[in-house]
Amino acid sequence: MPTGVAIRDPREQLFDAAERVLLRAGPNALTSRAVTTEAGCAKGVLHRHFADFDAFLAELVRDRVQRIDDQAAALRAAAGTGTVTGNVTAALMELFRSVAVAIVALVISRDELRARLRRGRPAGVPALAEAAAMIASYLSAERELGRVDAHADVDTLAPTLIGAVHLLFADREGVPPEAEAVGRVVDAVLAGVVRR
């Protein structure tokens, strides 16, 4: 982009560009030059808004994790409607169709980014930890409504679901699983606790 041309929301434009690069080519292709080229702006734009590239990546991850928090509120509000398995399946399909799988790969591949993200946040891999909290919160709400067994260990079930479904989506170059395949995993994990 020529000098002097205003960018509408540079942070969001850069985040969206980084997400496209990440989804298309993976974490190893994510460089400041790749991001600014994808965003159609000068490299200096990134450095005007962020101290360094790892600071940019940390903010990208935090921004995308916030989307999971928004999704968690919607899922919890769905408690008591539809089926428990259907609601969890839909939430996991939405979560893993997004950039969440790529964010996990990014965080795992960059030590400095991981160190920055660990400051002031709960343990766990960003995106996956928030996803597990989202599912646990929803299952707790369903437990309060009596649709999930009162003795269900939602804090164990949630990361089990996240891990099992993440494995289905983890192959970035393969075909993503259908909702039916995800539903079978969810049904198997929740089979002993969902009241029919």
Q: Is residue 196 part of a domain?
A: no
Q: What's the confidence (pLDDT) of residue 2?
A: 47
Q: What is the pLDDT of residues 24-65, one digit of tens each?
A: 888 999 999 999 999 999 888 998 999 999 999 999 998 888
* CA angle in degrees (0–180, nearest 5) for 119-94-141: 75
The predicted model scores a pTM of 0.84
My answer on whether 58 and 44 are in the same domain is no
List the domain range (segments joined by +) for residue 8.
1-49
Total domains present in the chain: 2
Q: What is the mean pLDDT of the chain?
A: 89
**pLDDT(1) > 50:** no
CATH of the domain at 81: 1.10.357
Other residues' Cβ atoms within 10 Å of the Cβ of residue 5: 9
CA distance 68 to 71: 5
* Cross-strand pairs, 194: 148
Q: What is the DSSP string of 85-143?
A: HHHHHHHHHHHHHTTHHHHHHHHHH-HHHHHHHHTTS-SS-TTHHHHHHHHHHHHHHHH
Domain shared by 20 and 90, yes or no = no
On whether both 72 and 108 belong to a single domain, the answer is yes
pLDDT digit string, tens, across residues 85-98: 999 999 999 998 77
Q: Report whether pLDDT(7) > 60.
A: no
Instruction: Over range 147-152, report the average pLDDT.
Output: 97
Q: Looking at the structure, tell me whether residues 15 and 100 fall in a common domain.
A: no
Output the domain CATH number for residue 7: 1.10.10.60
Tell me: pLDDT of 144 over 90: yes
Same domain for 63 and 20: no
